[in-house]
């Protein structure tokens, strides 16, 4: 596995793969890797003849006071995991490489940026869109892999790819969960055993809503009441949002019959956790 710290190095490595006629799959991450990330690497390997992964804790997607400084950084373990998966190139730049001195250009995706996590984390999706646009320009992948776990991010990036004519396919992989239902996340490392137990209420609420939809309920209001009721069983979490929205626009929907995203975010002890389920159209 080639480890590239500079844009020039990763471009040269990708150019060599291209000269060999290889199709490039790209998996961007912030590191502290778990099975969710590795599932995307495996999807990329299945689809493409070469895989590029990146590890970059992107400062511009963290608001002041968030966990940028203490975000887990486990480079050696991550490197070994990616190597074992057969990744061809790992791009792991410093912030100064991605944001040259005096950089002032950002990607704005419009109103969708301010919905769900964008509403609670002002500027978050502007930072995400900007860094992903930079990474796409640098790597120029054929396919780029993202997790459904970050459903609002998927909606923002789909829009950006379409609006800015990126010549690539965005592939979305399903959320990978722990056996008890907790969605895997690098931020789960912040949880004490007690918090981890409380965090299960997020996936429990989503499963209850999903079961209610399966039993025939389509109106959003009773489904939201049901979800909020389950979340209230765990008074020690601080709810950020629980919403039922259109998966593409992230706007609230009145019923789920044309498909919907049921999404939740909550602070559990020191961690802000998110989870969601996608309700297919009937």
Binding residues (CB under 6 A) for ligand AMP: these are 29-30, 36-37, 39-40, 146-147, 149-150, 173, 175-176, 183-186
Question: What distance lies between CA 281 and its chain's CA centroid?
Answer: 23
Closest approach, Cβ 186 to ligand AMP, in A, equals 5
In the complex with ligand AMP, the residue whose CB is nearer, 189 or 238, is 189
CB-based contact 168:247 (threshold 8 Å): no
Closest approach, Cβ 75 to ligand AMP, in A, equals 13
Closest approach, Cβ 275 to ligand AMP, in A, equals 9
Given the structure tokens 């909550």, which residue do they identify?
266
Encoding tokens for residue 243?
Answer: 């919403």
In the complex with ligand AMP, the residue whose CB is nearer, 97 or 150, is 150
In the complex with ligand AMP, the residue whose CB is nearer, 124 or 149, is 149
Is 137 a residue of the active site?
no
In the complex with ligand AMP, the residue whose CB is nearer, 29 or 130, is 29
Encoding tokens for residue 11?
Answer: 């471009």
State which residue has the least CB distance to ligand AMP: 147
Closest approach, Cβ 16 to ligand AMP, in A, equals 25
Encoding tokens for residue 111?
Answer: 């109103």
**C-alpha to C-alpha distance for 123 and 31, rounded to whole angstroms:** 21
Task: Please identify every residue annotated as catalytic.
Answer: 37
């Amino acid at each position: 596995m080639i480890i590239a710290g500079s844009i020039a190095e990763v471009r040269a490595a990708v150019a060599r793969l291209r000269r060999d006629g290889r199709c490039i799959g790209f998996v961007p991450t912030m590191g502290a890797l778990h099975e969710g990330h590795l599932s995307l690497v495996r999807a990329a390997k299945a689809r493409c003849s070469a895989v590029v992964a990146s590890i970059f804790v992107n400062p511009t997607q963290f608001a002041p006071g968030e966990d940028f400084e203490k975000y887990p950084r486990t480079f050696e373990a991550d490197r070994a995991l990616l190597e074992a998966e057969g990744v061809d190139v790992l791009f792991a730049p410093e912030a100064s490489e991605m944001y040259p001195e005096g950089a002032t250009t950002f990607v704005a995706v419009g109103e969708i940026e301010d919905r769900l996590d964008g509403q609670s984390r002002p500027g978050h999706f502007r930072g995400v869109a900007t860094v992903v646009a930079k990474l796409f320009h640098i790597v120029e992948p054929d396919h780029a892999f993202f997790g459904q776990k970050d459903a609002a991010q998927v909606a923002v990036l789909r829009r950006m790819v379409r609006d800015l004519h990126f010549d690539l396919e965005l592939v979305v992989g399903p959320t990978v969960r722990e056996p008890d239902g907790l969605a895997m996340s690098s931020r789960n490392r912040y949880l004490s055993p007690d918090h981890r137990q409380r965090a299960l209420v997020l996936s429990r609420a989503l499963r209850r809503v999903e079961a209610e939809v399966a039993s025939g309920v389509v109106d959003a209001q009773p489904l939201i009441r049901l979800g909020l009721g389950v979340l209230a069983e765990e008074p020690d979490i601080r709810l950020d949002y629980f919403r039922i929205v259109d998966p593409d626009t992230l706007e609230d929907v009145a019923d789920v019959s044309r498909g919907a995203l049921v999404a939740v975010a909550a602070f559990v002890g020191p961690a802000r956790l998110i989870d969601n389920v996608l309700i297919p159209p009937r």
